C-alpha cells in the first residue's frame, strides 16, 4: 500500500510539473501580449515598462525565468506570482476565494450523491418498472438542462418570487462563512448546491443503475441468492460495493474540478469563488492569477484521483494495490 501511494504521489507530481510547464510557456512565451505592459498599465511610458520588465525578470534568459517560476512553486508556501491588477500575491487572493469554492463543491457533492445513488439503486433493483422509467425520465431531464438555465430558474423561483411574496426563505446572493453561523452559511449556499446537485445527480443515477445491473448479473451474486441471503444483503453488501467503483472514479474527477471553481453557478448566485476569480482575471488579463487558478484546479484533480485509487481497495477486495 505504501509503495503504491508513493508511486501515485510521484506520478501526480509529474502531472503537476507538466501542467505548470505548459502554463508557463502558454502565458509567458506563446501569449501575444506583453506581461510587462499588462503589469505596468496601458498608460505607462516605455521607461516604466522597461523597469517593470526588469523587476519581473522578463529581461533574463527564458530558462532562468522558467527556473525561477518552478523554484517559487516548490517553496512553502508556494509563490504563484503577483497579481497585475491589485499588486498582491496570487496565493493570498486564491486563499481568500478558496473557502467559497470548497463550500459549494462539497455541499453540492453531498446532495447529488444523496439524490443520484438511491435513484440508481431503485432503478437497478426494479428494471423496466415504473420506478425505472421514471428515473430515466428524471435523469434525461437533468442531463438536458444547462446549468445556467436551471440556476436562473431556481434563483427566480425560490429567491425572487418568494421574497417578492414576503417569504424570504433564501437570502440575497452573498457568502457567509461557516464557523460564525452554519445555518446561515447553508441558507446562502443551498440554491447553488441544488443547481449543481440536480445536474450531476442525473449522471450518477444512470451510472449507478448501469453499473449495479451489471454487477447483479455476476455469478457470485447468483451464488449469494442461492444460499438464501436476503435481497437487501445481496444488493447492498455484495453488489453495491463493486458497482460503486466507476461512480467513485467519476466522483473524484467531478469533485476535483468543482473545487477549482464553478464559474456559471458562482456567477448566477454572486458567490466570490475561484470560478468568479478566473473570469475576472481573464477579462482583466491578469496572467498570474489565471495561472494560479489553473494550477490549483490541477492540484485538486490530482489529489482527488489519488484518493480514488486508494478507495478502490476498500470498495472491492479483488483490487490489489501493489
Q: Looking at residue 156, what is its pLDDT?
A: 82
CA dihedral 292, 296, 302, 307 (to 10 degrees): 170
Beta strands in 1-145 (DSSP E): none
Estimate to the nearest angstrom the gap between the alpha carbon of 44 and the chain centroid.
Answer: 38
Residue 282: closest CA among 272, 271, 291? 291
User: In this predicted structure, what is the pLDDT of residue 186?
Assistant: 86
Dihedral sign, Cα of residue 81, residue 33, residue 23, residue 105 = positive
Cα dihedral 91, 303, 102, 267 in deg (nearest 10): 80
Structural domains of the chain ordered from first start: 2-84 (no CATH), 91-315 (1.10.3720.10)
d(Cα 82, Cα 174) in Å, to the nearest integer?
A: 27
Cβ neighbours, 10 Å, residue 84: 24
- Residue 110 binned pLDDT confidence (cut-offs 50, 70, 90): very high
**Which is more confident, 321 or 189?**
189
Residue 310: name the closest of 47, 55, 3 by CA. 3
How far is residue 30's CA from residue 214's CA, in Å, rounded to a whole number? Answer: 48
**CA 145 from chain center: how many Å?**
19
What is the pLDDT of the chain when averaged over all its residues? 81
Beta partners for residue 54, in sequence order: none
| pLDDT tens profile 227-273 | 888 888 888 877 887 788 888 888 888 888 888 778 888 888 888 88
What's the pLDDT band for 319 if we cut at 50, 70, 90?
low
Cβ atoms of residues 170 and 162 within 8 Å: yes
Which residue spans within the chain are E strands per DSSP? none
| pLDDT tens-place string over residues 139-167 | 777 777 778 888 888 888 877 777 777 77
Cα 171 to Cα 186: distance, rounded to the nearest angstrom = 10
Q: Tell me the pLDDT tens digit for each residue of 172-206.
A: 667 888 887 888 888 888 888 888 888 888 889 88
* Residues 271-304: tens digit of each pLDDT: 888 888 888 888 877 788 888 888 888 888 888 8
The model's pLDDT over 31-41, given as tens digits with 9 standing for 90+, comes to 556 667 666 66
Cα–Cα distance between 175 and 104 in angstroms, integer?
10
Q: How many residues does this entry show for the chain?
A: 322
DSSP 45: -
Return the minimum-mean-pLDDT range out of 61-65, 112-116, 146-150, 166-170. 166-170
Calculate the CA dihedral of residues 131, 135, 137, 142 and round it to 10 degrees.
Answer: 160
Amino acid at each position: 500500500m505504501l509503495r503504491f501511494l508513493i508511486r501515485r504521489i510521484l506520478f501526480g507530481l509529474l502531472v503537476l510539473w507538466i501542467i505548470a510547464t505548459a502554463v508557463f510557456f502558454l502565458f509567458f512565451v506563446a501569449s501575444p501580449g506583453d506581461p510587462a505592459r499588462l503589469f505596468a498599465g496601458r498608460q505607462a511610458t516605455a521607461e516604466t515598462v522597461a523597469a517593470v520588465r526588469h523587476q519581473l525578470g522578463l529581461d533574463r534568459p527564458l530558462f532562468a525565468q522558467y527556473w525561477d517560476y518552478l523554484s517559487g512553486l516548490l517553496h512553502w508556501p508556494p509563490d504563484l506570482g503577483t497579481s497585475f491588477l491589485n499588486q498582491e500575491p496570487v496565493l493570498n487572493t486564491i486563499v481568500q476565494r478558496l473557502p467559497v469554492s470548497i463550500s459549494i463543491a462539497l455541499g453540492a457533492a453531498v446532495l447529488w450523491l444523496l439524490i443520484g445513488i438511491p435513484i440508481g439503486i431503485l432503478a437497478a433493483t426494479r428494471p423496466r418498472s415504473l420506478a425505472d422509467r421514471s428515473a430515466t425520465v428524471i435523469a434525461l431531464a437533468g442531463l438536458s438542462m444547462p446549468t445556467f438555465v436551471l440556476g436562473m430558474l431556481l434563483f427566480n423561483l425560490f429567491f425572487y418570487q418568494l421574497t417578492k411574496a414576503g417569504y424570504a426563505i433564501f437570502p440575497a446572493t452573498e457568502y457567509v462563512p461557516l464557523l460564525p453561523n452554519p445555518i446561515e452559511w447553508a441558507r446562502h449556499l443551498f440554491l447553488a448546491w441544488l443547481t449543481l446537485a440536480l445536474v450531476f445527480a442525473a449522471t450518477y443515477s444512470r451510472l449507478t443503475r448501469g453499473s449495479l445491473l451489471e454487477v447483479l448479473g455476476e455469478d457470485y451474486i447468483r451464488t449469494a441468492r442461492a444460499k438464501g441471503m436476503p435481497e437487501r444483503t445481496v444488493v447492498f453488501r455484495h453488489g453495491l460495493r463493486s458497482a460503486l467503483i466507476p461512480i467513485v472514479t467519476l466522483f473524484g474527477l467531478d469533485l476535483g474540478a468543482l473545487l477549482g471553481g464553478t464559474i456559471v453557478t458562482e456567477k448566477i448566485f454572486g458567490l466570490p469563488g475561484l470560478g468568479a476569480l478566473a473570469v475576472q482575471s481573464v477579462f482583466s488579463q491578469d496572467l498570474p492569477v489565471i495561472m494560479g487558478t489553473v494550477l490549483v484546479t490541477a492540484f485538486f484533480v490530482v489529489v482527488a484521483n489519488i484518493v480514488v485509487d486508494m478507495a478502490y481497495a476498500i470498495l472491492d477486495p479483488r483490487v490489489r494495490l501493489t
